[in-house]
Amino acid sequence: MEQIKVTFPDGNSREYQKGISAAEIAKAISPRLLDDALAAKINGAVKELYTVLDSDASVKFLTFDDAEGKEVYWHSSSHLMAHAIQSLHPEARFGVGPAIDSGFYYDFDINKKLTEEDLAAIENKMLELAKADEMFKREELSKDAALNLFKSKEDPYKIEIISELDDTKEKISIYKEGEFTDLCTGPHLPSVGKIKFVKLLTVSGSYWRGDEKNKQLQRIYGITFPKKKMLDEHLAFLEEAKKRDHRKLGKQLDLFSVHEEAGAGLIYWHPKGARIRLEIEDYWRKAHLDNGYELLYSPHMGRSWLWETSGHLDFYKESMYSEMKVDDQDYFVKPMNCPFHIMIYKSKLHSYRDLPLRWAELGTVYRYEKSGVLHGLLRVRGFTQDDAHIFCTKDQIESEIIEVIRFARMVWSAFGFGELKYYLSTRPEKAVGENELWEKATVSLQNALRNEGLEYEVDEGGGAFYGPKIDIKIKDALNREWQMSTVQFDFNLPERFDMKYIGEDGKEHRPFMVHRALLGSLERFFGVLIEHYGGAFPLWLAPVQAAVIPVSQASLEYSKKIAEQLREHGLRIELDERNEKIGYKIRDWETNKVPYMLVIGEKEMQSGEVSVRQHKVGDTGKMSVESFAELLKQKVLNKD
């Protein structure tokens, strides 16, 4: 019998009989591996465990610990859910059901409007079907055969998908699992029995293919796990995320509000929230001034000429608020700051010696967002961007981009976000600007990332029509990713506004323009920050840095002096004058997540010290007022 050589990820290789399946190899290695394995990566492609090997190959067994293993697991779970829905509601027709980053969903068309209460029944059915432990059987078939199959099942969505496939290019395959057959590329688990723990999370409407012109289907999101512990941990994570919800904390800590009577999606910053914003802005301004930026202020509205010239009235109108008449002229509230910065640029003739210009503004813009997408601070209709525009020459773009990336990293680490992810988006099919410009700009973005030694993902064709870009995502304390920063070239606006500078050669040249936002918007950033810190802000941002708490009225006068003394050090201090027991007041400041509490009673009056209690830590002993002030000032300085 012919032998083949199989190489494993650790570099070792072994000989097996030709025609052996991946599952048999796993079994030969250890029964435990066969048990844990969900699929196999054969020569770089994820395949079913029962895949047969006919020639030398590299094989990696995928378990639930691998991202690709999870994907197979959750994708198979979506089939299982569809199976359960079909057996409970035979009239159901199915859309698509992929695995997602955290679980899976399936879209389907059924007569009944499902509510969250119906999910339990589907969950139970899934567990029941999983017990039957049916295999996922793959079959390949021609386009006609596939069409006939789904015509017989009267499933218009699958028919639509198949009719767009080309079976001369790719095989059309279906998977059967017990009674349930689905169009699918796979790969899948060997059998549904691997799916042990199920939690269906939400049911919602979703348009067929995400297009609101199409029929709205129902979507169920769910997640599954092989071990109970994993499910429990996931549910605990969801619970923790709920606790940190910025909308909840915003109310609880009196940071901000939104008022339906006064308009949805518009944020009111309360004194404590505004205090935090002020600290953010102060840091932001100083950082920009220290890093070669100039700061600008620009109007909140502009005449239609501006928006016609910029092109916003052509390609951005649906996100802009309607015009208002001023002296019979149409004015628009700004959705972006860029045209204003360009007007400032154009207010005089520029020499190449002026460049680069780095102009930043905390610019408040208003954009129409559909009512259904508004979400606390994260998706709003009015917000302040930490916007900047860089105007430079061709020779400067690379160093400018390097500088922006370096600056972004510095700002993010100041706010406690060390782990960033970078995404480079290149030229889409429809684009303005010459190829050479795109090439040059894209290379400069690439070089900037490489220069900093950063890993990045490339989204081919994912750039805006006016230029390539780098997006930066941050990871918060719960490991969730947020897209925050963006650095975008713009080949459109300099052209439209006919921007120029006089070069060394005495001739007119077009400057390069880069849009750049780091925090994105202060509202959204604040929301992310609240969740990242769970409302317990670091000292330098905390609206109240320390509360001075007299044990009884007897030490009130002395406490007042201490509070005053600390305020003179520039610290944000509150004095708790309430006639309550010490335990009550401590509890109150603890729940308000104030970093420090100073307990002042008879003993402290005698010794002239303060008793320091730290949030979440507890009593940390006595020290002098001055050394406490110095400690705090040092921590503020270090953004500790």
Partner RNA sequence: GCCAACUUAGCUCAGCUGGUAGAGCAGCUCAUUCGUAAUGAGCAGGCCAUCGGUUCAAGUCCGAUAGUUGGCUCCA
SS3 content of the chain, % helix, strand, coil (to 5): 40, 30, 30
Phi-psi region of 275 (alpha: psi -120 to 50; beta: other; left: phi over 0): alpha
By CB under 7 A, name the one of 54, 568, 602, 626 that touches RNA. 602
Q: For this structure, is 389 an active site residue?
A: yes
| 237 is a contact residue toward RNA (CB under 7 A) | no
Residue 519: Cβ within 10 Å count: 23
Tell me how far apart the alpha carbons of residues 238 and 240 are, in angstroms, rounded to a whole number. 5
Candidate residues 58, 173, 291, 319; the one interacting with RNA per rule CB under 7 A: 173
Q: Does 375 bind RNA (CB under 7 A)?
A: yes
Position among 203, 437, 464, 530 found at the interface with RNA (CB under 7 A): 203
Which position has the token pair 């799916």? 195
Asked if residue 461 binds RNA (CB under 7 A), the reply is no
573 scored as a contact of RNA (CB under 7 A) = no
User: Cβ of residue 442: shortest distance to RNA, in angstroms?
Assistant: 23
- Burial degree of 143 (CB within 10 A; 0-12, 13-18, 19+): middle
110 binds RNA (CB under 7 A): no
Q: Does 230 bind RNA (CB under 7 A)?
A: no
Q: Nearer Cβ to RNA, position 117 or 327?
A: 117
Assess 524 for contact with RNA (CB under 7 A): no
The single residue of 155, 182, 386, 387 carrying the catalytic annotation is 387
Site string for RNA, 112-151 (x = CB under 7 A): -x-xx-----------------------------------
Number of residues near RNA (by CB under 7 A) = 75
DSSP 3-state of 491: coil
Catalytic annotation present for 469 = yes
The answer to whether 109 is a known catalytic residue is no
Identify whether 184 is a catalytic site residue. Answer: no
Identify which range of 402-410, 438-446, 505-513, 614-622 contacts RNA by CB under 7 A: 614-622
Q: Which of 148, 170, 168, 171 is nearest to 158 (CA)?
A: 148
CB 583 within 8 A of CB 244: no
Cα–Cα distance between 505 and 207 in angstroms, integer?
57
CA 278 – CA 285 distance, rounded (Å) = 10
Q: Does 348 interact with RNA (rule: CB under 7 A)?
A: no
573 - beta bridge partners? Answer: 546
Q: Is 367 a catalytic residue?
A: yes
d(CA 552, CA 582): 8
Residue 184 as a binder of RNA (CB under 7 A): the answer is yes
236 by Cβ neighbours in 10 Å (0-12 / 13-18 / 19+) ranks as exposed
CB of 564 to RNA, least distance (A): 20
Among 28, 52, 100, 235, binds RNA (CB under 7 A): 100
Q: Is 301 in the site for RNA (CB under 7 A)?
A: no
Nearer to RNA, 247 or 509 (CB): 247
CA neighbor of 357 nearest in space, from 289, 293, 445, 404? 293
Inter-axis angle of helices 397-414 and 435-451, nearest 10: 40
Between the alpha carbon of residue 349 and those of residues 499, 512, 513, the distances in Å are 9, 16, 16
Beta carbon nearer to RNA, 212 or 327:
212
| DSSP letter for each residue of 413-430 | HHTT---EEEEEE---SS
538-567 residues in contact with RNA (CB under 7 A) are: 551-554
Q: Which of residues 250-289 bind RNA (CB under 7 A)?
A: 251-252, 258, 260, 263-265
For RNA, which is the closer residue by CB, 126 or 149? 149
The active-site residue out of 86, 118, 244, 385 is 385
Of the candidates 17, 202, 634, 638, which one interacts with RNA according to CB under 7 A?
Answer: 202
Minimal distance, residue 250 CB to RNA, in Å: 10
- Residues marked active site are found at 338, 367, 385, 387, 389, 469, 515
